[in-house]
Amino acid sequence: MVKKTILWTLGILLLAGAGTWGYFYITGTESSETKEEEPSDSQEEKPKKKEKEKEVEELSEEKFEESSEDENLNPFGDKKKADTVPESTIRDYIHQMSHQKVEAEQKWGFYRITDERISWLSDKVKTNEYSEGAQYENILTAWSNGNFSNIDEHHNTIWKMQGGNVGKATGVLSEEEEQAYIDSAQ
C-alpha cells in the first residue's frame, strides 16, 4: 500500500513538472533568473529593432511573387475560384486594408488600399448576399470617395465582427505616419 502511494505521488509530481515545463515552453515565457537584462540603447539592440519594424508586411506582395503568370489572381493575390467570395474573406480584406491608415497597439500585416481593390470588393459585395453587406457597402463607398476620416471606426466594426480582442484601432494615422507604416513594409 505504501509503495503504491509513493508511486502515485511520484507520478503526479512528474506530470505536474512536465505540465509546467510545457506551459513555459509553449508560451516562450522565461523565468526572471534566466532572463538577461539588455541595455535598451546598445548597438546590439538596434538590429533587433529593425527586425521588429520589418514585421509589418504587405500581404499580397509574396503571393504575387510566388504565382505563375497564367494564374488567375484577384487584386489581393489570391486565386479566383468563383464569383462567390466567402463573407469571412471580404471581412479579412477590409480589415487588413484598414491597417494602412489606423493607429492600433497591434496590427498583423496589411493590404494597400487601392482603387482596384475597393472596386473589386464593392463588386463582390453587390453581387453576393452577405449578412453584413450593407455595412461593407457603406465602408467601401466612403473609401471609394476618398473619405477615410472614420476608418478607425470601420476597422473596429469589422474587428468586432471577427471577434477581435487585441488590436482595436485608437485613431487615424497622419499622412506622415501612414507613409512611415507603408515604408516599414518595404
Report the C-alpha dihedral over residues 83, 84, 88, 92, rounded to 10 degrees. Answer: 10
Cα separation, 42 vs 178, whole angstroms: 28
- Note the pTM of the prediction, 2 decimals: 0.64
**Strand partners of residue 172:** 102
DSSP, residue by residue, 60-87: HHHHHHHS-TTS-B-TTSPBP--S---H
**Per-residue pLDDT tens digits of the chain, which is 186 residues long:** 777 788 788 778 777 777 666 666 665 544 333 333 333 333 333 333 333 444 555 555 555 455 555 567 778 877 776 677 899 999 999 999 999 999 999 988 888 999 999 999 999 999 999 999 999 999 999 999 999 999 999 999 999 999 999 999 999 999 999 999 888 876
Cα separation, 138 vs 158, whole angstroms: 12
